[in-house]
Each structure stands twice: as C-alpha cells, then as structure tokens.
Structure 1
Amino acid sequence: MGTSSPEPLLICEHCDTVYRRRRLSRGDVAQCARCHAVLERHHGMSSNTLLALVLTAMIAFTQANLWPIVTLGLNGQYSSATLWGTIITMWQQQAQVVAVIAAATLFFFPLIKMLSFGWLYWFARDGRRAPGFVPIMVTMHYLGPWTMSEVFVLGALVAIVKARVYFEVTPDPGIYAYALLTLMITVFASVDVRRLWDTTAERPA
C-alpha cells in the first residue's frame, strides 16, 4: 500500500481547534471560528526580502545602542544619555533588577531574535532548514513577548515631553533609530515564522 503525504493542519493556540490549512491570498487572515483568534496571515515577502529587512533592522539596532538618545540641558550644562549609559547608571545606583530587565528586553532579546530570524531565512531561501532549526524556533516562540523596544520608545517620548518642563531637551539620533527599529519589529511580528515548518525540509543525513 502506498502512503500519501498528510494534509497540512493548523491548530489554534488558544482553543486547540484543528483546521485544514489553505493557501491564503494577499490580505487574507485566517481566523478561528470558535474563539476568533488570528491563526495566520498572508505575507508575500520572499526570504531574500526578509533577509534585507533583518540587515536594515541590525543597522538601526547598532545605531540605537551607540548613539545618544536624548540630551538634557540645565543652566548651560548639557548631558547626553545612551541606552547602555543609562543601564550602567541604574546598576551603580543599586537598581540592578531594573538594569538587568532593561538590558535583556532592549538589547539581548531583540538581538537574539534578529540573529535567529536572519539565520533561519538564510537557509530558507533554498527551502532548507537551518542547523539548530527546532531549538531556534522554540526560542523565538518564547522570546516573542519580551522584545519591548516599542514600549521603550513610547516611554522615552513621554519622558521627553515631561522633562521639557524642567530641562532643555533635545532628542538625539538614537531615539530616531529606535523608532525605525520599532517599525521593523512591527513588520517582523506580521510574519508567521511557523510557516517554515511547512515550507522548509530537513537536510538529508
């Protein structure tokens, strides 16, 4: 007896309802009929396009961490602050927990996610699974909610507005780089990385 390849299935993460996966057209969104959660979205970007976006995000990420975020002035004296300068200051002022959380969510987690994204799609160009595919996919699943660059940008903008009451505040290039990085992260969030399980194949032993 011959064996046919199983039909691709899609399982709702919220209510465990099982569906047969169908090819989505541009703009289509698959939604669970039971709990109305979004199952997947169509995206027409190729692996090469996604790799270019990863490179752009890495450049913005590097600039955001090297350039000053804001400059504060008072009585003719000015002080610029970078992300890591702020984290180090918090650590020295006995706020180690806040410093560790800021370093993890604003630097290490986004960096790991972008590197993993680029690594997976570099091999996906040829329809192959990258070395370490399974642990990387699991790691990206758990890191998803912990990349908080967009929260940082919004918080920084609110702080800049409030600080203008007491200081001369000048936004520096770092905050604009973080704004660009936030847009890139939003684009990545719209890409269903889980499709790589279906569109890539394991390398032959």
Structure 2
Amino acid sequence: MSTASPGTLLICEHCDTVYRRRTLQRGEVARCACCLAELERHQPLGVNALLALVFTAMIVFVQANMWPIVTLGLNGQYSGTTLWGMIIAMWQQQAQVVSVLAAVTLFFFPLTKMLVLGWLLWFARSGRRAPGFVRLMVLLHHVGPWTMSEVFVLGALVAIVKAHNYFDVVADPGIYAYAALTLLITVFAGVDLRRLWELTREDPA
C-alpha cells in the first residue's frame, strides 16, 4: 500500500482502515469491511452537470423568495405573503429568535451553499482549484446540515392543511418553488464533494 499514490487510496473516516480505491459501477456503494460505514458511492453527475444544477437552483431560489408562499382569505378578504414577509412579521410580533433562525436556515445558509458550490465547480470545470478552496470546502461541510428548506416545506404544508379549517387557503407559486428547491438540495446532499480534491489540482505558485 505504501507504493500507491494518495489518489488510489480510500480511508474510512470512522475506523481509519485503508483501502485501495476502484472505479464503482452505477448503483454501487463501497462500505468498510470493519465498521460497515459508507466509504463511497457511484456519482453519475459530472462537474458540468452539477454546475448546471447549481444555476438552476439559484434561479428557483430567487423565485421562491420573490413569489408569495400562501394566501389566506377570510370574509372575502385575501392576504398573501412571501418568506421575508413572514420573517418580518415574526420579528414584529416579538418572535425574534424564530425570525432569525428562519432567515438563516431558509435564506442565508442555502444561498451561501449555492454560491460557494458554484464558485468551486466553475474552476473545477478546467481542473483547477478555486481561490480559497480549502476554507470553502470546510465551510460547505459545516453549512450543509443547516440548509433546512425541506423542513420548511413540510411545516408549511402541515400549516396549510390545519389553517384550511379556519381560512380560505391558497398555496401560491412560492411554496412550489421551495418544493423544487428542496429536490435540488436533496440531489446536492447525495453528492460526495470530496471528489473535488481529486478532480482539481492546485495552481503552482
């Protein structure tokens, strides 16, 4: 094993067992023989496909934040609101903690993840590492679990069903845009971004 290059080795993050990497076929998953942890899975999407998905997600993200999410009607009067309208309303009603958490997990973290991932993939198209590559990879690792669009969509759907007993409720385009964004983020979550270390090279000083 000592004569193999670093790119041909695969190390289990849980028990530090070292394996020689081989190319996985479609649907294959490599697991550690000692602790059964997942080591690697086949990635059908290339860098260009991932970059296209990032651009698509950013377009959907803009639409989700611009379009109304839900419209409530009572006695013939209707009122719709966007995500930021809901965040501002919660802030004004003394729910600052919930308002900040919603803004961070539904807007700032997803936006950060898409911008950073797009930046890294743009340079990876030519096999280069983007400026700040190491710090940005660490940032993606920490930000990833906090993008909670799927929790918001599920909570919004439950709220719509319950509110329907008291109001006329209309699901607006914003909630569908967030549902589409959730699907895209789910795709990103299944991609092993560690591949970027192997697909890119550091430019010589």
Q: Aligned partners of 2:197 and 2:161: how far apart in 1?
A: 45
Q: Write the deviation string for residues 141-161 of structure 1: whole angstroms up to 9, x where unpaired.
A: 011110000010011011111
Q: Write the deviation string for residues 69-120 of structure 1: whole angstroms up to 9, x where unpaired.
A: 0000011111101110010111111111111111010000000001111111
Which residue does the alignment assign to 1:50? Answer: 50
Which residue does the alignment assign to 1:169? Answer: 169
Q: Aligned partners of 1:74 and 1:130: how far apart in 2?
A: 53
Q: Is the 8 A contact 1:128 1:200 kept in 2?
A: yes
Q: Which runs of 5+ in 2 are unaligned?
A: none
When residues 42 and 164 of structure 1 are mapped into structure 2, their CA distance, relative to the original with a 3 A threshold, is: same
> Quick one: which amino acid aligns to residue 24 of structure 2?
L
Matched, 1:91 2:74: no
Which residue does the alignment assign to 1:137? Answer: 137
Q: Aligned partners of 2:6 and 2:85: how far apart in 1?
A: 54
Q: Which runs of 5+ in 1 are unaligned?
A: none
User: Which SS does the other structure have where 1:170 is aligned?
Assistant: strand
Deviation at 1:16, TM superposition (A): 3.4
Q: Is the 8 A contact 1:7 1:20 kept in 2?
A: no
> Quick one: which amino acid aligns to residue 26 of structure 2?
R
Matched, 1:181 2:181: yes
Q: Is the 8 A contact 2:7 2:198 kept in 1?
A: no
Deviation at 1:21, TM superposition (A): 2.3
Which residue does the alignment assign to 2:191? Answer: 191
Which residue does the alignment assign to 2:102? Answer: 102
Q: Is the 8 A contact 1:41 1:190 kept in 2?
A: no
Deviates more, 1:144-153 or 1:34-43: 34-43
Deviation at 1:33, TM superposition (A): 2.3
Runs (4 or more) in structure 1 with deviation over 6 Å come to: none
Paired residue total: 203
> Superposed, which structure 2 residues align to 1:7-46 within 5 Å?
8-46=8-46
Deviates more, 1:38-47 or 1:83-92: 38-47
Q: Is the 8 A contact 2:129 2:200 kept in 1?
A: yes
Q: Aligned partners of 1:4 and 1:144: how far apart in 2?
A: 32
- Root-mean-square deviation (CA, aligned residues, Å) is 1.5
Deviation at 1:4, TM superposition (A): 6.8
Q: Aligned partners of 1:11 and 1:80: how far apart in 2?
A: 52
Q: Aligned partners of 2:200 and 2:19: how far apart in 1?
A: 21
Deviation at 1:65, TM superposition (A): 0.5
The normalised TM-score by structure 2 is 0.94
> Quick one: which amino acid aligns to residue 132 of structure 2?
G
Which residue does the alignment assign to 1:121? Answer: 121
Q: Aligned partners of 1:156 and 1:198: how far apart in 2?
A: 40
Q: Aligned partners of 2:45 and 2:6: how far apart in 1?
A: 26
